[in-house]
Amino acid sequence: MNAEETFKGVSKIRGVNLGGWLVVEGWIKTSLFDEIPNGDLLDGTQVQFKSIMLQKFVSAANGGGAEVTVDRSVPSSWETFKIWRVSDSEFQFRSLGGQFLTCGGEWESISASAESPSATETFHIERNHDRVHIRLLSGIYVQATSTNQLVANYQGNPGWDDNAATFQMIIAANDLHGDYQLANGYGQDKAKEVLSKHRRNFITQEDFRFLSMNEINTVRIPVGWWIAYDPDPPAPFIGGSLEALDDAFSWALTYNLKCIIDLHAAPGSQNGMEHSASRDGSVDWPGSPEFISQSLDVIDFLASRYANHPSLLGIELLNEPFAPSVPVDVLTSYYSKGYQIVRKYTSTAYVIFCQRIGRASPLELYQANIGTSNTVVDLHYYNLFDDFYVNLTSTDNIDFIYNNRQAEVQALNSANGPLVFIGEWVNEWNVKNASKAAYQAFGMAQLDVFSQASFGWSYWTLKNERKHWDFEWNILNNYLLLDSSASREIARKLLLWMSLCASLYLHQIG
């Protein structure tokens, strides 16, 4: 890019993500989930059941498809079930193979054979600490028999002693805290109250003023697919995010910021994570023509609504599709169609294609020849989420930025195709008890390298309970130094100091 060139009036992108606002991520603001009854049993929670009497685990052999047994001494995948929450005490249980536990009635065995859930797949759970009773909606309790079967035939009302109808419930994983879990956990009325308050207060006009005063020129705004159905999206999702997005565009205009709209959560989920609004961790988007078509309709809605708004910079067609669950041919076909949809409404807005996560090369998107003008490939760079980074020192992390990240950015910059955008990065790592100076050096190394990307960068995220992920906290506490001239000199001195310390340490132990 020549010095005179700009992106719709903005110099190279210096952006911040508004994560956790219009798409919920529980780890960003944990208090959103505090008042949900039985809040440890949300959609997607993985549970195991151990018979108190037999001291064996309930198991769906081969992942499902037949009667379940109570005969496993050690739990693994066959003994783990994903919750679909119906109410705060009624649940459905999905086996590894995707089938649901089901029971036809009294004296019937439990099997993992239902392809979709209804009343016969719904069980009432009574809890006493980690002990539970499981009963049908008819009131009949389930018990583990001496022949290692799970049958709905317990007579009477079981107490909490070591009887055949009492199980220990073990929560094996509780990783999903997204829009689906929040809305389905609270129910429509309470969820609307919680989310309305959150959307009003988490990001405000004052935040846009703060960003503008701190040399930020762009916000990347994650949205969920249900925004296109506002104000009454399909259950359990809650309306109101469209009004908040309209506010963001208005505030951006006031403070001379640009907006990138990012489809962060697609129907069916493109990566199984909470930020894609997955119900139970499944990745159903790529295998469903209906979900893909629905996603394209959302892009059409967003492009038609904001194409002529002076604050629109670009539309990102999908965030973090997961490889290999999302095949590259399915993804590039979707990107090509999404590009054409955006171009129906605007010839100047940038169309952004996110790289697949899960060890996929961004070069696959350059080789696909998607679109002909104003296209961008989005890479997400974290020195986290992989065992490779676990034991790196602060110097190792900084070296990795300069040696590995920089090489990839420069190679993609010179490739024939889309511009390069580091759409997510953070001033956090696995280094324990790192000093403020070390964080400053790490942040400046990233700023130095990511500023070389031909389109620019965007920090994840503006606000976060984990302070080093919080852009605002980093700026106010001088952990992230944005001023280009002064901070580069500081970073140079910090890097020199860190290298010297490392050399002295190696000399001493040698």
Instruction: Read off the pLDDT of residues 323-336 as tens digits, 9 standing for 90 and up.
Output: 999 999 999 999 99
Could you tell me if 150 and 188 are in contact, meaning their C-beta atoms sit under 8 angstroms apart? no
Which H helix or E strand runs over 290? helix 289-306
pLDDT score, position 3: 35
pLDDT score, position 386: 83
As a whole number of angstroms, the distance between CA 428 and CA 419 comes to: 26
Spell out a b/e string for 96-125, using b for 16 or more CB atoms within 10 Å of the CB, else e.
bebbbbbbeeeebbbbbbbeebeebbbbbb
Confidence of residue 127 (pLDDT cuts 50, 70, 90): very high
* Helix ranges (DSSP H) in 313-405: 328-345, 363-366, 394-400
Q: What average pLDDT does the segment 79-99 reach?
A: 98
Q: Which of 277, 274, 268, 370 is nearest to 317 (CA)?
A: 370
pLDDT score, position 1: 40
CB atoms inside a 10 Å sphere around CB 70: 27
Question: Among the options 320, 408, 465, 489, which is catalytic?
Answer: 320
Q: What average pLDDT does the segment 298-318 reach?
A: 98
Measured between alpha carbons, how far is residue 391 from residues 388, 397, 497 in Å? Answer: 7, 10, 21
| CA 348 to chain CA centroid, nearest Å | 29
Which residues face 50 on adjacent strands?
A: 57, 168
Residue type, 441: A
In this predicted structure, the answer to whether residue 466 has a pLDDT above a threshold of 80 is: yes
Q: What average pLDDT does the segment 338-355 reach?
A: 98
pLDDT score, position 138: 94
3-state secondary structure of 431: coil
Strands 13-17 and 46-51: unpaired
Measured between alpha carbons, how far is residue 125 from residues 128, 156, 157, 165, 197 in Å? Answer: 10, 16, 13, 12, 31
As a whole number of angstroms, the distance between CA 376 and CA 352 comes to: 5
Contacts of 73 (CB under 8 A, 6+ apart): 55, 56, 57
Instruction: Read off the pLDDT of residues 227-252 as tens digits, 9 standing for 90 and up.
Output: 999 999 999 999 999 999 999 999 99
pLDDT score, position 7: 76
Residue with tokens 């679109």: 371
pLDDT score, position 4: 36
In this predicted structure, the answer to whether residue 67 has a pLDDT above a threshold of 60 is: yes
Q: How many residues does the chain have?
A: 510
Could you tell me if 409 and 453 are in contact, meaning their C-beta atoms sit under 8 angstroms apart? yes
Q: What average pLDDT does the segment 410-425 reach?
A: 94
Q: Is 290 a catalytic residue?
A: no
Which H helix or E strand runs over 165? none
Which residues face 259 on adjacent strands?
A: 219, 312
Residue type, 74: V
pTM, 2 dp: 0.93
The CA radius of gyration of the chain, in Å to the nearest whole number, is 25
User: In 174-257, where do the E strands start and end?
Assistant: 218-224
Question: Among the options 25, 316, 424, 428, which is catalytic?
Answer: 424
Strands 131-136 and 123-128: antiparallel
Which H helix or E strand runs over 472? helix 471-476
In this predicted structure, the answer to whether residue 489 has a pLDDT above a threshold of 80 is: no
Could you tell me if 38 and 268 are in contact, meaning their C-beta atoms sit under 8 angstroms apart? no
pLDDT score, position 359: 85
Instruction: Read off the pLDDT of residues 173-218 as tens digits, 9 standing for 90 and up.
Output: 999 999 999 999 999 999 999 999 999 999 999 999 999 999 999 9
Instruction: Read off the pLDDT of residues 380-402 as tens digits, 9 standing for 90 and up.
Output: 999 998 888 888 989 999 999 99
Mean pLDDT of the chain: 93
Q: What is the 3-state secondary structure (H, E, C) of 106-150?
A: CCCECEEEECCCCHHHCEEEEEECCEEEEEECCCCEEEECCCCEE
Confidence of residue 11 (pLDDT cuts 50, 70, 90): confident
Tokens (6 digits) for 115: 């392809």
Confidence of residue 499 (pLDDT cuts 50, 70, 90): low
Quick one: residue 256, left, alpha or beta (phi over 0 = left, psi -120 to 50 = alpha)? left
Confidence of residue 497 (pLDDT cuts 50, 70, 90): low
Which H helix or E strand runs over 486? helix 484-509
Task: Using the Cα atoms of residue 233, residue 238, residue 239 and residue 243 in order, give the sign of their dihedral.
Answer: negative
Q: Is 274 a catalytic residue?
A: no
Which residues face 424 on adjacent strands?
A: 380
